[in-house]
Amino acid sequence: METLNINRHISGQFNSELESVRNQVMQMGGLIEQQLTDALAAMADDNIDLARQVIIKDKEVNQFESNVDQECSQIIAKRQPAASDLRLILTIMKSITELERVGDGVAEIARMVMENHGKDVPSLIGLDNMGQIVLKMLHNSLDAFTRLDLKAAIMIHNEDKKVNRQYESIVRELMTFMMEDPRSIPFILKVLAAARSIERIGDRCQNLCEHIVYLVKGVDVRHATMEEINSFLAE
């Protein structure tokens, strides 16, 4: 298998272009990680001002995606990269799409905080616990991307099972709450949407980890089983 060859090109300008887009992915990831941190804090404290700021900053996330996508397209057109360079560009383009969708999920959490402000909703402790697991997954996924850490990416990929179990438990709890108090249904539906957004962020982190596997190993594992992905740990 051909190995990664980042920052070893005859053209120093090509090196700079690749490093620029990689750095922008990490900046975008850092922004989204802070956005998720703030959205979870807004949910825990019922802080609508913080929630509003999260929604406003989502425009920055979208701008990052547009800028990086444009730069990657220009690199492909100008440099016609091959092998590991092409994998890197493709991975970056796929990863920024995942990150933008994480940003959309974060905004959904913030909107729930604003719409349910002051309403009689059940405890959101379970939702916050799931959010903290997902926040750690996002942080570790970005770190694994920076270090091209295959083992870490696979371990993070496996963490999504915890998120799914938490989500199923939260859904059961909220369904029970709605049956006991039908007046709460409009508010609980918004909480369910936020819970689904958090669960989907975990899925996006899984996707990021699959892109890392593709970048490092040159193998597309998007439709592979957990056992097939974990087999890379034994190599």
- Does the residue 3 lie in any domain? no
Q: Which domain holds residue 90?
A: 12-234
- Does the residue 1 lie in any domain? no
First to last CA, the chain: 13
- Does the residue 53 lie in any domain? yes
- Does the residue 105 lie in any domain? yes
In Å, what is the CA distance from 9 to each residue of 12, 21, 79?
Answer: 7, 16, 11
pLDDT in tens, 65-98: 999 999 999 999 998 888 888 999 999 999 999 9
pLDDT in tens, 90-137: 999 999 999 999 999 999 999 999 999 987 777 788 999 999 999 999
Domain count, the chain: 1
- Does the residue 6 lie in any domain? no
Domain CATH for 129: 1.20.58.220
Do 124 and 44 meet the contact criterion of CB atoms below 8 Å apart? Answer: yes
pTM: 0.91
Per-residue 3-state assignment (H helix, E strand, C coil) for 19-40: HHHHHHHHHHHHHHHHHHHHHH
- Does the residue 211 lie in any domain? yes
